[in-house]
Structure 1
Amino acid sequence: MVTVNEVFEMTRDALELIKSAQRRRLIYRTPLVKSDTISNATGAQVFLKLEALQKTGSFKARGAYNAITRLSREGVKHVVTASAGNHAQGVAYVASLYGIKSTIVMPQLTPWIKISRTKRYGADIILHGESYAEAEAKAMEISKELNATYVHAYNDPLIVAGQGTIGWEILEDLDEVDAVVVPIGGGGLISGIATVIKKKRPGVKVIGVQSEGAPSAYLSLREGKIMGVTSVDTIAEGIAVKRIGDLTFNIMREVVDDVVLVSDNDIVNAILMIGEATKVIAEGAGAASVAALLSGKVNVKGNVVALVSGGNIDMPMLTKVIYKALAKANRIIKIRGLIPDRPGTLSIVTGKMGELGINIIDVFHERFNPEIKPNYVEVSFVIEVPPDAKAVDDVLTELGKLGYKFWTERF
């Protein structure tokens, strides 16, 4: 088994390779930016390492570039891998740079955007299984059948070393770092980053974040042995892994200080906060580190770096996420009331809301409830709430003056 010291030396080599790729714009050196909004919400000085702006939309391009560049030098002509989407894009992209054929197995419910972008880089796509684990088993089978080289998404020292270059960049860009917070799926990302951070600045805390619906690393580090889970259930498909790797487990238990769990609702809130604070779109996995800070699951002070690891999210899912986050923050609410079922009444109600500056998002009618009088209709409005919370009370009061009783209702 490769040791932490060996991985650290491999990250040095990977850094030179990645820097060479960055000079040619094949890989990006992503920005490290302070977010005053997130800092104010957490009480720490929060800096975001925006790998969502990386080539292919996630950090995965780094590990893929490091591994496949070295494989190309060995004359490899065909690579196979399994991925929930981001590693797939990284492998397909780098393979295309070297004229290497790539075959990618992805779970059947992989977001369309990740499938289409992987195809765009010329990969052959096979959709198989409901989870990454099932896709991985199929991919390994295919690699043997085709006599191709398998490139693991995280349990590979070259992949880990490539991801570790992020750690070097953080230390180069920020003189004082107190903590680094990193999402964990299979563990390749945090293994690389934590190896560099702990070797260079041992006093810096490195904290991993997993979804409650995919807690393999969390359970494994607490039990002292690899603990898989039978199923995963989270909107953060990029970290929806049933079992962490042997290599990454051994590294993590040496260099990772703690792992915490966040809920999907925590992640939803973080996606909205990142978008509003930085104008950067984060996918579920990419927002997990910020979710841990905003929810208080990670409570650290000083200079804290949160890795926004990817931004490949389907627009339909992004729409759902934003509306759920706005509803949870009471920035959109539902009001309900009874009005006479006759022409012009609805126009009076909506007209009054318009006068008060209220934007109506949706309207629902209920005529079939037997408890409602036949000449009345129950109407529900989903509305945007202005910054002044008193505006909602004003709406209810003004509608009451017109003779219509409305009240707020939870979603």
Structure 2
Amino acid sequence: MFKMDCHQPAGSFKIRGIGHVVAQHVAAGADHFICSSGGNAGLALAYCTAALKARATIFVPETTKPSVHQLLASYGATVHVAGKVWDEADKAARDHCAAEGAVYVSPFNDPVLWQGHSTLVDELAFQIERPDAVVLSVGGGGLLCGVLQGMHKHGWSDVPVIAAETKGAESFAAAVAAGRPVALGGITSKATSLGALKVSDEAFRWTTRHPIHSAVVTDQDAFTSCLTFANELRVLVEPACGAALAAVQHGNFPLDKCNNIVVIACGGNAVSAGALCEWATHHSA
């Protein structure tokens, strides 16, 4: 089954954790929030601050599409472009946050954020029987940490998780191979929403507490899986989400004995039907 967080307000699962963080700080009197984002975290923050009548400033890397800039602005957010990759945008966001006295909102590395993301599993536990496996995409590791927290809360501590990434953005796979979080030399994948050079420490620590299988797919497989998803379900998701879809379709781990698989369709905004067709055609050439 698919957990369709692509239908969340602002287009992705990110609103779960970021909404939880923002609501707590607004209740304490905060009115200005700053985050770094490849797009989806920023859109979640912009949506939440607009709803709660607060301000949002978003730092994005140069790879962020103009359509995402427009969406951020439509929610009233201030947008700054900083650096070639997310990590450089994040440094600029933190520096600006210190100067402004605003609240920094991490896109993936905050226990309060993980608590918000864990509500996804609260819903699953109500909706379905215990699954045989859970498949999700990994960027910095926020979704992974939240889902695992929720799984342990509901007694699913031995249900394997497939952590999917695209080649060229596989920071979790690199950490597993090295035995510790390590920084990639750069991001070469077109799934830029997965583009954290280094996975969070907490995401890696979960490998000692839970059965997690790393799956790295190609951009082409992610694009193709997004097209299949669009054709069969009439729903658009971006390549970052396509990594999880492709892990099921093209993965090299055994799922043949799994009858009840949950695939988290995490969403994404940097996508259109034309863009998906163009990506898939270009990479199949």
Whether 1:218 aligns to 2:173 is yes
- Contact 2:141–2:199 (CA under 8 A) maintained in structure 1: yes
Give identity over the alignment, percent: 26
Give the corresponding residue for 1:245: 200
C-alpha deviation, 1:323, in angstroms: 3.5
Identify the residue that residue 148 of structure 1 maps to in structure 2: 102
Which residue pairs with 2:185 in the alignment?
230
Pair 1:253–1:107, CA change in 2 (3 A): farther
Shift of 1:219: 1.6
CA apart distance, 1:256: 4.7
1:90 maps to which of 41, 44, 54: 44
User: Which residue does the alignment assign to 1:40?
Assistant: none
The answer to which of 150-159 and 290-299 deviates more is 290-299
Secondary structure of 2:20's partner? helix
Letter in 2 for 1:320: E
Equivalent in the alignment of 2:22:
68
Give CA-to-partner distance per residue, 1:59-112, whole Å, 9 cap, x none.
111111100000011111211110000000001111112211111100112012
> What is residue 12 of structure 2 aligned with on the other side?
58
Aligned to 2:131: 177
- Tell me the alpha carbon deviations over residues 3-23 of structure 1, each in whole angstroms, 9 at most, x when there is no partner: xxxxxxxxxxxxxxxxxxxxx
- Which of 236, 244, 250 pairs up with 1:281? 236
Contact 1:111/1:314 (<8 A) preserved: no
Query: Match of 2:252?
Result: 297
In angstroms, what is the RMSD of aligned CA positions?
1.6
Counterpart for residue 312 of structure 1: 269
1:194 is aligned to 148
Q: Is the 1:214–1:233 contact (alpha carbons within 8 Å) kept by the matching residues of 2?
A: yes
Give the unaligned 5+ runs of structure 1: 1-46, 329-410
What is the CA distance between 1:269 and its match in structure 2?
1.3
Q: Which amino acid aligns with 1:180?
A: V
**8 Å contact from structure 2 (residues 114, 149) kept in 1:** no
User: Larger RCO: Structure 1 or Structure 2 (Cα < 8 Å, ≥ 6 residues apart)?
Assistant: 2
- Give the Cα separation in 2 of the matches to 1:101 and 1:311: 22
Number of residue pairs aligned between Structure 1 and Structure 2: 281
* Inter-CA distance 193–245: structure 2 relative to 1 (3 Å threshold): same
Kindly state the Cα deviation for residue 324 of structure 1 after the two structures are TM-superposed: 5.0
Range with bigger deviation, 305-314 or 269-278: 305-314
Secondary structure, counterpart of 2:118 in structure 1: helix
Q: 1:256 to 1:236 in 2, by over 3 A?
A: farther
Does residue 1:263 correspond to 2:221, yes or no?
no
Residue type of the alignment partner of 1:133: D
Aligned to 1:134: 88
- Structure 2 gap segments, 5+ residues each: none
- Matched with 1:81 is 35
Cα 1:98–1:252 shift into 2, 3 Å: farther
Q: Which residue of 1 aligns with 2:59?
A: 105
Confirm whether residue 159 of structure 1 aligns to residue 113 of structure 2: yes
TM-score under structure 1 normalisation?
0.66
Q: How far off is 1:250 after superposition?
A: 2.6
Structure number having the greater strand percentage: 1
Query: Offset at 1:203?
Result: 2.8
Cα distance, 1:298 vs structure 2:
3.6
Asked if the contact 2:236/2:271 (under 8 Å) is kept, the reply is no
Structure 1 or 2, whichever has the larger Rg, is: 1
Taking structure 2 as the reference length, what is the TM-score of the superposition?
0.93
CA offset digits 1:30-54 (Å, max 9, x no partner): xxxxxxxxxxxxxxxxx11111111
